[in-house]
Structure 1
Amino acid sequence: MDTAFSIPISISPQELVTHLGRPDVPLLLDVRRREKFDAAPTLLAGAQYCAPEAVAHFARTQAPREVVVYCVYGHNVSADAAATLRAAGWPVRVLAGGITGGEEGVDTHADIALWRSQTLPMVTKRADWGVTGEQPSRWITRERPKIDRIACPWVIRRFVDPRASFLYVPTPQVFSEAERLGAVAYDIPDAPVSHVGEECSFDALLQGFGLRDPALQHLATIVRGADTDRLDLAPQAAGLLAVSLGMSRTYADDHAMLEAMLPVYDALYAWCVDAVAGQDERHNWQPGMSR
């Protein structure tokens, strides 16, 4: 059977939220009409915008992959976009209820209540940081990253802009290269994104994009502890510091270091999700205990 037509046509907010923040998350395609998109200050975390009239061109010029499309209410606009994508061979689902969670007077009260009972993570558009969902963003920082300069790309890739690119350059060149390349400087004094008081650049990104996920906040404490030598902030901070320093010794190339560390942060975030939910697994086996 053609896999493009074997995937259910809709996905509930409850199901979608379990995929967000993961490395294998489907492409999230925002197909709201231009006036609706421009008027909205936020978009779904990690989403890419494509105007409805541009979907056919998008479908033809991009390699098919699993995609979830959404509009305002989950009605005709997203249904039309899904049909166009499916005809081009894309495995596609529509977010049930759209980004609003259904439309009063059109959808049933039960459906609206169900869809709106699940809060989906949203990101604040930041045109000043090149993040509106329309074009890939570009970021630049000091070379030889270890903790904050890896954690920041991770959260941007997973929750803000999966298409973002990251540059590492010698410290004296950060601002000149940022201006030349149209990139946002981060984790360096006087950069748009940097340390503020005891908080790290990772904290600044969470605040700047309005990311309030409790698991991300928990991860921020661990990153802060490791990055500022405040290992008392979280027991996991010492482990993150050790792994980061070891990876820095292992990889001479900064981008290779970044790619190697992304799964570490994926795993740490997954642990934070369980920890916040009170479901973190304990490892308490002792020699002599029965298996």
Structure 2
Amino acid sequence: MLLIHQLPPKPDYFRVKIWRRLQTIGAIAIKNSVYVLPFNDEAMEDFQWLRREITAGGGEATVCRASFVDGMSDRQMEAFRPLADHGAASERLPGTGKAPMNKRGRTWITRPDVHVDRIASAWLIRRFIDPKARFAFGEPKAGMVRFDRFDGDYTYEGDRCTFETLLKRFGLDKDSGLRAIGEMVHDLDCKDGKFERHETPGFERMIAGVVKRNPKDDARIARGAELLDTLYESFPAAQQRSRSH
């Protein structure tokens, strides 16, 4: 997979931001404006998100599939890529406006093999947005609410991860406990060190344990919810919410 791009000369932060995204997903520079990943669904999704981000920022980008006649193979490219979860590292197309509040008892669909952002987002959805939510993984069908997907209703917006987007779109971002969790999720998912909360390394290890012990997505969401319930209750905002109900 090739990403061929031309970035606007300004602002500087946008150019740095795109460069960091490319580093995070493990893309290898062939030329200054040409980056390569081994061909697979994950690489396609990563590059498509980046293409739309570059276009939204005033640049130009093209994603294509190519074959090298000689030189680097997919296996060699993989050897240079960092061992990380790349599925949610790139930014998605921003949405706009507040979310409607009539999404009750809906099926919420996301990508399979859930990790920190999708686990935390599923917990947030079921606890604060749609208590009767059902979750599905794979290709969406009509009527499903899509989250943390390239074509998502709720996904990355600006520099916010999906969890942070849900907080903002559903008016939950005034809750300091949820904001704190959002900051941890952001740093683990975006890998940009924006907040650097002292709780984040411990949270990372616990989520890693949930993922390792539970190969099925439904189980990851269920076990992750227990962890996040406990974590949330440790914040004063949760205690105040409990006293007010």
| TM-score for both structures, normalised by structure 1 | 0.44
| Distance in 2 (alpha carbons) for counterparts of 1:132 and 1:216 | 21
Equivalent residue number for residue 142 of structure 1: 111
SS at match of 2:234: helix
1:272, CA displacement in angstroms?
2.5
1:214, CA displacement in angstroms?
1.7
Unaligned runs of 5+ in 2: 1-97, 241-245
SS at match of 1:167: strand
| Distance in 2 (alpha carbons) for counterparts of 1:274 and 1:216 | 8
Q: 1:207 to 1:192 in 2, by over 3 A?
A: same
Q: 1:183 to 1:246 in 2, by over 3 A?
A: same
**In the alignment, does 2:160 pair up with 1:199?**
yes
Higher-RCO chain (CA-CA 8 Å, sequence separation at least 6): 2
Q: CA RMSD in A?
A: 2.3
1:189, CA displacement in angstroms?
2.3
* Percent pairwise identity: 29
1:160, CA displacement in angstroms?
1.2
1:247, CA displacement in angstroms?
1.5
| Distance in 1 (alpha carbons) for counterparts of 2:164 and 2:187 | 12
Unaligned runs of 5+ in 1: 1-123, 278-291
SS at match of 1:139: strand
Equivalent residue number for residue 218 of structure 1: 180
Counterpart AA for 1:143: P
- 2:112–2:137 Cα contact (<8 Å) kept: yes
Whichever of the two has the greater Rg, that structure is 1
| Distance in 2 (alpha carbons) for counterparts of 1:276 and 1:203 | 21
For residues 95-174 of structure 1, what are the structure 2 equivalents within 5 Å?
A: 126=100, 131-132=101-102, 135-169=104-138, 173=139
- 1:219–1:272 Cα contact (<8 Å) kept: no
Equivalent residue number for residue 266 of structure 1: 229
Counterpart AA for 1:147: V
| TM-score for both structures, normalised by structure 2 | 0.52
Could you tell me which of 227, 242, 249 is aligned with 2:205?
242
Could you tell me which of 253, 257, 264 is aligned with 2:216?
253
1:274, CA displacement in angstroms?
6.4
- 1:147–1:244 Cα contact (<8 Å) kept: yes
1:275, CA displacement in angstroms?
9.6
Q: 1:276 to 1:163 in 2, by over 3 A?
A: closer
